[in-house]
């Protein structure tokens, strides 16, 4: 356990406060009072603890754009920087955002692993490598907590896919758990001392994670010395006794939970020891003391760090995260001349992934906007090329809507903004003046201004009675009923089309969607969730592509931005393939044929297949680049900055990917591959991916000059042998020289970033952790003695120098 004296000083206050609480108050404190908060207990000077997602921004307690949040690049992007210090700076900004919004605990970071590229929340996790994940997560947690805001490292553990996530029993060997899935959590507990952890929905080896005494109490707390609080993932707790005895401190959200009154009753019935409740309350009070909401306790941070410029940091992280995987004939940076910018996502950038990671930034800089500003006037043209949104979409551009709340008598009782027409009011998160008791109808009202002339389709996502009126005509007046038993269907279900209307570009029409609010008895919390969906006029895909190819042919360089959509990458479901949606692949083939200087920007949070990658001059992966993504893209395309990212995960086709299984059979998902995921599995299968782990080009060249190893200290000398200043990520890989089929052929053992001016030579040292030489041997860590090759280089496949050591 990390001993922090200030923590000890707070313990006395915590104990005294605990001693003054009766059983009912203690049980109440362990249950959410609503979607995001715990109850205040004024009798001990405890204010309400507020939690919020996480991880790329701080949404706050409202699911609206009323109080916007800085949106940083996706976690995959943050990991692609291979820079724990940058992750630390991201954390400091997020703490600043949290404090601004009155949030005490950030529900982040997500440190599950990229086991399969199909995992729906792949974009929200860092890497396929546990060491890289642990280091980025450590930087992030330290950064957030240095701002006095708690974290919940999530989702403990093995929540690596979304299919049947509430019920799936992941069968994972102890060794794979220790060496892969637990490893980032362990590293973060050791090096960042997190104040919280979130236990996952899924089951591991027969026990659901909110009840997993072995992994939570014995491993996390016992072996690693974690002293923070353990909160359930939202609605994951299902049993009062099993959860409290399995080490779960807080059941979220409320008010209907297995804790609270149910927990007090269980103690009175003799089913739960009051001491178990005290233990959990102690941890919550410790958290409250650390974040400064328990009277008499000095918070862990009394002086918040210096203010951070959020948009500037978002832009810096984005360009440091972009991975240039191909750059033939140095097509990038752009040379002077004309540019044909192509792609729907160049205009409507996809900057973040869907689900609980959603935040609402106050602006989004698109590539079109940023390149228009950055390039000389008259040199940029734009064509849509292909629209990846081939279905009804939410939050489409062109809507200007507000939500009007009325009671049963039809009186207005409150209003709220509703950008794009999405309502998501959970629990007590309602517009001012509105309660669930008084609310009868919600009307989305305002205008829609089409960008294109033609037949527009409108639809509704949500359950219950709706009336949809467009330009004075009522197109739907009926109820949408559930077609599945899944409680999450309202969150993740598909919108249903209800109206087709001919509209003229630029001419606004009135829109009204009224929903009669109903509250199903079985719902764990009262909520109002629905949205207006839209799809633009269908265009002939061949015509769009031909138009883009014409534009490309006439320009010096073509830049195509391809993207996934919210229907492809989001929390709540896994992918079934890795293809780009719509006609985007055909578009790139056509543009590449029209212009040899074609640059493709891939705007996706996780790997997609790039069947045209050898036909184009350059491929730049931009991830979900956050609110300033377009500006960062302009920085990198024009050469003001080099792209700094290296792949945190292997990119390849689904057919070649060694581990793809995410669908359980009979509720079971065996991790049959053991320790062989990611590059470990690609190497074992003898397959060559499209782009290997660690790969990424900058705008200069590097020559690795010498490698020395003293004990476990690796010293590398390298020279910037190119034409401009740059940054290199020196990667160190370890290989047992005697092959051992039980161990991967090679793994990442360390890395370091270095910067140098052209012609300059730099020396960098990398300390290899003892763990790099260890395996989990039955029930303990053991160093495997013998000889190891140490290789340093630019990716797992591009190793420049090697030497051998004996351990």
- What residues act catalytically? 233
Nearer of residues 412 and 523 to ligand BGC, judged by Cβ: 523
Whether the CB-CB separation of 487 and 541 falls below 8 Å is answered with: no
Query: CA quadruple 169, 171, 175, 176: dihedral positive or negative?
Result: negative
Whether the CB-CB separation of 210 and 252 falls below 8 Å is answered with: no
Residue 474 CB, nearest approach to ligand BGC (Å): 35
Nearer of residues 149 and 601 to ligand BGC, judged by Cβ: 149
Nearer of residues 107 and 384 to ligand BGC, judged by Cβ: 107
Q: Give the max Cα distance, the chain.
A: 82
Q: State the binding string over 671-710 for ligand BGC (x if CB under 6 A, else -).
A: ----------------------------------------
- Burial class from Cβ neighbours inside 10 Å (0-12, 13-18, 19+) for residue 105 reads buried
The answer to whether 160 contacts ligand BGC (rule: CB under 6 A) is no
Which has the closest alpha carbon to 796: 719, 726, 733? 733
Which has the closest alpha carbon to 50: 63, 42, 39? 39
Residue 166 CB, nearest approach to ligand BGC (Å): 10
Binding test (CB under 6 A) with ligand BGC, winner from 203, 230, 356, 366? 356
Distance CA 31, CA 281 (A): 11
Residue 53 CB, nearest approach to ligand BGC (Å): 5
403: left (phi over 0), alpha (psi -120 to 50) or beta: beta
Sequence-distant (6+) residues with CB within 8 A of 559 are 339, 340, 341, 342, 346, 367, 371, 598, 599, 600, 601, 637
Residue 241 CB, nearest approach to ligand BGC (Å): 24
Site for ligand BGC in 107-126 (CB under 6 A): 107
Which has the closest alpha carbon to 751: 627, 647, 597, 653? 647
Which has the closest alpha carbon to 39: 227, 371, 281? 281
Nearer of residues 32 and 698 to ligand BGC, judged by Cβ: 32
Q: State the binding string over 88-107 for ligand BGC (x if CB under 6 A, else -).
A: -------------------x
Residue 253 CB, nearest approach to ligand BGC (Å): 8
What φ, ψ does residue 668 adopt, rounded to 5°?
-115, 135
| First vs last C-alpha separation in the chain | 28
Measured from each CB, the residue nearest to ligand BGC is 356
Which has the closest alpha carbon to 385: 536, 567, 561? 561
Nearer of residues 234 and 733 to ligand BGC, judged by Cβ: 234
Distance CA 111, CA 189 (A): 12
Sequence-distant (6+) residues with CB within 8 A of 200 are 154, 155, 156, 157, 158, 159, 165, 209, 210, 233, 236
Nearer of residues 60 and 689 to ligand BGC, judged by Cβ: 60
Distance CA 73, CA 56 (A): 6
Sequence-distant (6+) residues with CB within 8 A of 225 are 1, 2, 189
Residue 227 CB, nearest approach to ligand BGC (Å): 21
Residue 55 CB, nearest approach to ligand BGC (Å): 9
The answer to whether 53 contacts ligand BGC (rule: CB under 6 A) is yes
- Residue 417: alpha-carbon gap to chain centroid: 26
What φ, ψ does residue 499 adopt, rounded to 5°?
-150, 140
The answer to whether 720 contacts ligand BGC (rule: CB under 6 A) is no
Residue 209 CB, nearest approach to ligand BGC (Å): 12
Residue 493 CB, nearest approach to ligand BGC (Å): 15
The answer to whether 54 contacts ligand BGC (rule: CB under 6 A) is yes
Residue 120 CB, nearest approach to ligand BGC (Å): 11
Nearer of residues 424 and 797 to ligand BGC, judged by Cβ: 424
Which has the closest alpha carbon to 235: 256, 217, 249, 216? 256
Instruction: Enumerate the β-bridge partners of residue 461.
Output: 531
Distance CA 718, CA 572 (A): 45
Angle (CA) 584 589 592, round 5°: 120
* Three-state SS at 411: coil
Residue 110 CB, nearest approach to ligand BGC (Å): 7
Q: How many other C-beta atoms are found inside a 10 Å radius of the C-beta of residue 190? A: 15
Q: State the binding string over 757-786 for ligand BGC (x if CB under 6 A, else -).
A: ------------------------------
Residues in contact with ligand BGC, total (CB under 6 A)? 7
Q: State the binding string over 610-639 for ligand BGC (x if CB under 6 A, else -).
A: ------------------------------
Distance CA 300, CA 2 (A): 14
Nearer of residues 356 and 443 to ligand BGC, judged by Cβ: 356
Whether the ω angle into residue 788 lies within 30 degrees of 0, i.e. cis, is: no
Distance CA 654, CA 202 (A): 25
* Three-state SS at 13: helix
Q: State the binding string over 211-240 for ligand BGC (x if CB under 6 A, else -).
A: ----------------------xx------
Nearer of residues 150 and 459 to ligand BGC, judged by Cβ: 150
Nearer of residues 26 and 154 to ligand BGC, judged by Cβ: 154
Nearer of residues 181 and 234 to ligand BGC, judged by Cβ: 234
Nearer of residues 201 and 679 to ligand BGC, judged by Cβ: 201
Nearer of residues 198 and 284 to ligand BGC, judged by Cβ: 198
Binding test (CB under 6 A) with ligand BGC, winner from 26, 99, 115, 154? 154
Residue 379 CB, nearest approach to ligand BGC (Å): 44
DSSP string, 137-206: HHHHHHHHHHTT-EE-EEEETT----TTTTT-EEE--HHHIIIIISHHHHHHHHHH--SEEEE-SSEETT
Residue 454 CB, nearest approach to ligand BGC (Å): 37
Which has the closest alpha carbon to 565: 608, 532, 616, 627? 608
Which positions touch ligand BGC (CB under 6 A)?
53-54, 107, 154, 233-234, 356
């Amino acid at each position: 356990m990390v001993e922090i004296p200030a923590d000890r000083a707070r313990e006395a206050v915590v104990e005294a406060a605990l001693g003054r609480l009766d059983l009912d108050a203690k049980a109440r404190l362990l249950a959410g009072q609503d979607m995001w908060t715990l109850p205040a207990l004024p009798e001990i000077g405890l204010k309400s603890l507020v939690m919020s997602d996480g991880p790329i921004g701080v949404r706050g307690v409202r699911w609206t754009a009323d109080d916007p949040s800085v949106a940083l690049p996706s976690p995959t992007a943050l990991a692609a920087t291979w820079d724990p210090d940058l992750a630390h700076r991201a954390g400091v900004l997020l703490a600043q955002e949290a404090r601004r919004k009155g949030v005490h605990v950030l529900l982040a970071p997500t440190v599950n692993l990229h086991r399969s590229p199909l995992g729906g929340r792949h974009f929200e996790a860092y890497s396929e490598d546990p060491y890289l994940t642990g280091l980025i997560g450590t930087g992030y947690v330290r950064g957030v907590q240095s701002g006095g805001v708690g974290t919940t490292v999530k989702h403990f553990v093995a929540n690596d896919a979304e299919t049947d996530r509430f019920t799936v029993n992941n069968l994972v060997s102890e060794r794979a758990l220790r060496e892969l899935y637990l490893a980032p959590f362990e590293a973060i507990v050791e090096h960042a001392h997190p104040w919280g952890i979130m236990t996952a929905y899924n089951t591991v080896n027969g026990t659901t994670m909110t009840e997993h005494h072995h992994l939570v109490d014995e491993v996390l707390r016992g072996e690693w010395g974690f002293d923070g609080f353990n909160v359930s993932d939202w609605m994951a707790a299902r049993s009062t006794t099993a959860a409290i005895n399995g080490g779960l401190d807080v059941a979220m959200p409320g008010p209907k939970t297995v804790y609270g009154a149910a927990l007090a009753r269980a103690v009175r019935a003799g089913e739960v020891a009051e001491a178990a409740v005290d233990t959990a309350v102690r941890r919550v009070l410790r958290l409250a003391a650390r974040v400064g909401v328990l009277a008499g306790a000095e918070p862990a941070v009394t002086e918040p760090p210096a203010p951070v410029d959020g948009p500037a940091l978002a832009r810096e992280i984005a360009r440091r995260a972009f991975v240039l995987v191909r750059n033939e004939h140095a097509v990038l940076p752009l040379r002077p001349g004309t540019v044909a910018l192509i792609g729907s996502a160049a205009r409507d950038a996809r900057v973040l992934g869907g689900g609980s990671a959603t935040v609402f930034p106050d602006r989004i800089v698109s590539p079109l906007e940023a390149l228009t500003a950055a390039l000389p006037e008259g040199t940029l043209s734009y064509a849509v090329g292909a629209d990846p949104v081939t279905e009804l979409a939410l939050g489409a551009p062109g809507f200007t809507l507000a939500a009007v709340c009325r009671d049963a008598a039809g009186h207005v009782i409150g209003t709220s903004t509703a950008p794009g027409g999405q309502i998501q009011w959970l629990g007590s998160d309602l517009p001012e003046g509105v309660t669930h008791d008084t609310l009868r109808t919600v009307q989305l009202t305002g205008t829609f201004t089409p960008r294109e002339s033609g037949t527009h389709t409108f639809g509704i996502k949500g359950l219950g009675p709706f009336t949809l009126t467009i330009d004075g005509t009522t197109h739907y007046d009926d109820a949408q009923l559930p077609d599945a038993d899944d409680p999450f269907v309202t969150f993740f279900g598909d919108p249903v089309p209800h109206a087709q209307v001919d509209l003229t570009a630029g001419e606004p029409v009135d829109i009204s969607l009224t929903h009669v609010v109903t509250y199903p008895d079985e719902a764990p919390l009262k909520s109002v969730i629905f949205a207006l969906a839209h799809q633009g006029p269908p265009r002939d895909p061949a015509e769009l592509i031909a138009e883009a190819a014409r534009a490309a042919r006439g320009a010096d360089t073509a830049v195509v931005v391809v993207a996934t959509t919210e229907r492809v990458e989001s929390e709540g479901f896994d992918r079934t393939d890795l293809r780009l949606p719509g006609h985007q692949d055909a578009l790139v083939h056509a543009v590449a044929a029209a212009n040899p200087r074609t640059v493709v920007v891939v705007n996706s949070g996780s790997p997609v297949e790039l069947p045209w990658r050898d036909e184009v001059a350059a491929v730049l992966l931009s991830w979900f680049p956050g609110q300033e993504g377009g500006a960062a893209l302009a920085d990198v395309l024009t050469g003001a900055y080099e792209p700094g990212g290296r792949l945190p995960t292997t990119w390849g086709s689904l057919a070649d990917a060694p581990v793809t299984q995410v669908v359980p059979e009979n509720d079971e998902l065996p991790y049959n591959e053991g320790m062989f995921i990611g590059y470990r599995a690609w190497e074992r299968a003898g397959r060559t991916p499209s782009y290997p782990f660690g790969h990424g080009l900058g705008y200069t060249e590097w020559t690795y000059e010498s490698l020395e190893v003293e004990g476990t200290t690796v010293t590398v000398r390298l020279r910037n042998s190119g034409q401009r200043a740059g940054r290199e990520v020196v990667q160190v890989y370890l290989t047992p020289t005697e092959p051992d089929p039980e161990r991967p052929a090679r793994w990442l053992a360390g890395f370091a970033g270095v910067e140098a001016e052209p012609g300059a030579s730099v020396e960098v040292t990398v300390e290899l952790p003892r763990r790099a030489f260890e395996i989990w041997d039955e029930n303990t860590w053991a160093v495997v003695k013998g000889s190891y090759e140490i290789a340093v280089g630019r990716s797992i496949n591009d190793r420049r120098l090697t030497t051998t050591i004996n351990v």
